[in-house]
Chains A and B, each alone.
Chain A
Amino acid sequence: MAEVAENIQNIIKPENLVYQKSPVLTDKVMHYCPGCSHGVVHKIIAEVIDEMGIQEDTIGVSPVGCSVFAYNYIDIDWHEAAHGRAPAVATGVKRVFPNKFVFSYQGDGDLAAIGTAETMHAVNRGENIVMVFINNAIYGMTGGQMAPTTMVGQVTATTPYGRDVDLNGYPLKITELIAQLPGAAYVTRQSVQTAAAVKKTKKAIRKAFEIQANKKGTAFVEVVATCNSGWKISPVDSNEWMEEHMFPFYPLGDLKDGEKEDPEALKMNV
C-alpha cells in the first residue's frame, strides 16, 4: 500500500496534472448510489463556484430527497429546507443578502409536486437565484415511487402496472411552464450521462450564476437524470433508458435565454 501511495505521489506533479477534485468539494464519501446523477451535478456546481471565486459569497439550499445531504459535499454554508420549500427559503436568503449568490437544488418530487407553488412563484417574482432541478422521473429517497415527471407506462413502487394517465395524470413538463414566466431569465434542460453532456451542463450552470450576478431574473437549469436504483436497472442501461424514453419527452436545450420581462412594458396606462 505504502508503495502505491508513494508511486501516486511521484506521478502527481503539477506538470502531469490534467484533472483535480475541486477544492470546493469536501472529502466526505458521497452516499449516492453508483450511477446516480446527483454526484456529478454536485461536482459541476462546486467547480463553477471555485472557478468563479465565489465560495465565500455562495449560500446553497438543499431539498428533501436524495440530495438532502448536498451540504455534506459542497463546502459552503447551506440551508436544509423542508420538502418542496427550497425556493421560498432561497427567496428569504436572497432578499436579506441581495449581493450573495443563492441557489436551490431540488429533485422532481420536491420541485414539481409538493413545492410547485413555491417553484412557480419564486420564478414569477424573478428572484435573482439559481434553481437546479434534477429530474430523475422518480422519488429516489423514499424508495422509487411515482414522481410528477414519471413517464406514462413507467413502473414505480406506486405505479406497479405502469403510470396510467387515467389514474395518475400526465408527466409534468414543469420546465416548459417555467419558461413561460416573465420572471425567468434563463431556462435550460441538460443532462450528465456523457463527458460532452457534463461539459454542456457545466456551461449552463456557470451561465446561470453569471445571470444572478447581473440580477437579470431567475436562472433555471433542469438536468434530466438517472436513478438506476429506483428504476431497478444497471447504471449503463439507465443511461440508455433515459436517452430512449426521457429525451424525446423532455428534449434537451435552452427553453429561454434572455432576461426577465421589462416591467415598464407591462405597466397599466393610468
Chain B
Amino acid sequence: MGELRLMKGNEVIAEAAIRCGCDGYFGYPITPQSEVMETLMNRRPWDETGMVVLQAESEVASINMVYGAAGAGKKVMTSSSSPGISLMAEGISYLAGAELPCLIVNVQRGGPGLGTIQPSQADYFQATKGGGHGDYRLIVLAPASVQEMNDFVDLSFELAFKYRNPVMILSDGAIGQMMEKVELADYKPRWTDEEVKEVSGSWAAIGKSPDREQNIITSLELASDKMEQNNIRFQAKYQKIQENEVRFEAIDCDDADYILVAFGSSARVCQKTIQLARAKGHKVGLLRPITLFPFPTEEIKRLAGRVKGFLSVEMNAGQMVEDVRLAVNGKVPVEYYGRMGGIIPSPDEVEKALEQKLIGE
C-alpha cells in the first residue's frame, strides 16, 4: 500500500510528476489549474530529484520549452486550462509532427473565449480531433477521480515514450479542485544520462559524436512524396494505438437496456444516475471511456447490438455524442444530454433526461 493522502487533483498531478521521475515542468498560471505549478514550486523538486520547474512567459513559450526538453529525450510536461491550451495548439502540432513524447494536462474550464473558470468538458473536440493544424492525434486520458489524476501521470509518460507521441490528460476544474483520498505511487528515479541514451538515443538531440548520424528534431519535410510517407507512418501509429490502448470502465452494463456514456466529472454524476434509474426499475449501465483517443468504439458497437439506446452525458453542447453515434451507426437511438457554461448536471436531471429522451413514459 502506497502513502495515503488527502489532496487536490491539481496538487496530485505535481506530486505524481515528481514521484514518477519527471525531468521538467514548464507552465504558465491559469485558473483552475495553477496549483500544479504552485505545488511544484513549493516542493522544490530540483533539490530532491533534480526535476526542473520553470514559469514561462506564456503558454506559447511553455509548450515550446516542452518541445526542446522533450527533444532532449527527457520526461517533460506542462499543464494549463482551456484558453492556455488554445495558445499551445501550434506547439502541440509541432510536437506531434516531430513525434516527441510529452505530457500536457488540460484542466478544462468553460468557453469559448475567456468563458468561465468553472468546470467544463468543452475541449473534447480540441483534444481528440486535433486542435492544432495537420493530421495528428494525441493520446487522450480522461480521469474521473483524484486517484486517476495520480495514476495517469505515470501512465501518460509510459504511453508517450512507447509511441513517441504527446499525451494529454483531459481533466476539468472539478477534478482539479476537489480533494479526495489518494494513494500515491512510490518514487521512481529519474532516468540517468545513460538511460536516456538507451531509451531515446536513436532519435533525441543529445549531442552527437563525429561518427554518428545527426539526430534532428523536426516536423519539416518539403518534398511531398516524403511528407506523405511521414503522414502514412503517423496514421499507422495512430491505428496501432487504436488497436492496443483503448481503456474504459463499464458499470452495470451486462444486463442494461440503456447505456449512459460519460467521461470525467460527468461520469461521476452518471454513477449516481444509474442507481436512481435502477431504483425506479430501469436497467441502466454506464460506459466510461478512459481513453478519449483511442475511443472505445468497438465496445460501444458491441453493446449497440444488444441495448435499446445510448445517452451521451457531457458538460458541453454535445461533442462526444458524435463519436458514440459513429460507433452505434444507426442501430439504436443515441441521444445527448448536457449542461454548459461551467454547470455540472445533477444525477436527477440526467435521470429525467434519460426517461424523456429514451425510455419514454
Contact = CB atoms under 8 A, between A and B. Distances in A.
Interface in A104-157: 117-118, 121
A200 interface: no
Nearest to B23: A96
A100 B204 CA distance: 14
Interface stretch (B54-62, B122-130, B147-155, B306-314): B54-62
**Candidate in A58, A71, A75, A91 with the most chain B CB atoms within 10 angstroms:** A91
A95 B210 contact: no
A68 B217 CA distance: 12
Given A96-B23, A100-B207, A71 B76 contact: no
**Candidate in A75, A91, A92 with the most chain B CB atoms within 10 angstroms:** A92
Contacts of B71: 79, 89, 92-93
A155 to B, nearest CB: 28
A215 B43 CA distance: 25
Interface stretch (A80-88, A163-171, A240-248): A80-88
Given A85-B64, A88-B56, A117-B57, A80 B217 contact: yes
B72 interface: yes
**Candidate in A82, A100, A117, A118 with the most chain B CB atoms within 10 angstroms:** A82
Interface string A49-92: 00000011111010000001001000111111110010011111
B132 to A, nearest CB: 10
Given A68-B220, A85-B91, A75 B214 contact: yes
Nearest to B69: A92
A90 B67 CA distance: 9
A93 B214 contact: no
A77 B61 contact: no
Given A57-B207, A92-B24, A100-B207, A80 B61 contact: no
A50 to B, nearest CB: 10
B216 A81 contact: no
B52 interface: yes
Contact of A118 (B23, B60, B215): B60
B230 interface: no
Nearest to B73: A96
A251 interface: no
B94 interface: yes
B74 to A, nearest CB: 5
A96 B66 CA distance: 10
Contact of B209 (A56, A78, A79): A56
A77 B52 contact: no
A253 interface: no
Interface residues of A, number: 32
Contact of B64 (A71, A89, A94, A100): A89
Contacts, number: 130
B117 to A, nearest CB: 24
B68 A92 contact: yes
B90 interface: yes
Contacts of A121: 56-57, 61
Interface residues of B, number: 40
Contacts of A160: none
B272 interface: no
A97 interface: yes
Nearest to A93: B68
Given A92-B69, A95-B24, A78 B57 contact: no
Contacts of A117: 57-58, 60-61
A85 B215 CA distance: 20
Contact of A91 (B68, B91, B98, B215): B68
B241 interface: no
**Candidate in A56, A61, A89, A118 with the most chain B CB atoms within 10 angstroms:** A89
A100 to B, nearest CB: 6
B69 A71 contact: no
A89 to B, nearest CB: 4
Nearest to B26: A92
A96 B24 contact: yes
Contact of B57 (A71, A96, A100, A118): A118
Interface string B187-222: 000000000000000001111111000111111100
B25 to A, nearest CB: 10
A23 interface: yes
Contacts of A90: 68
A76 B207 contact: yes
A92 B66 contact: yes
Contacts of B24: 92, 95-96
Contacts of B61: 85, 88, 91, 117-118, 121
14 contacts: A77-B214, A78-B214, A78-B217, A79-B67, A79-B217, A80-B219, A81-B64, A85-B60, A88-B62, A91-B65, A92-B65, A95-B52, A95-B69, A118-B60
Given A80-B98, A82-B91, A89-B64, 4 more contacts: A55-B208, A78-B214, A88-B61, A92-B72
When A and B form their complex, which 3 residue pairs have the shortest distance between CB atoms, in order from nearest? A92-B68, A92-B65, A80-B218
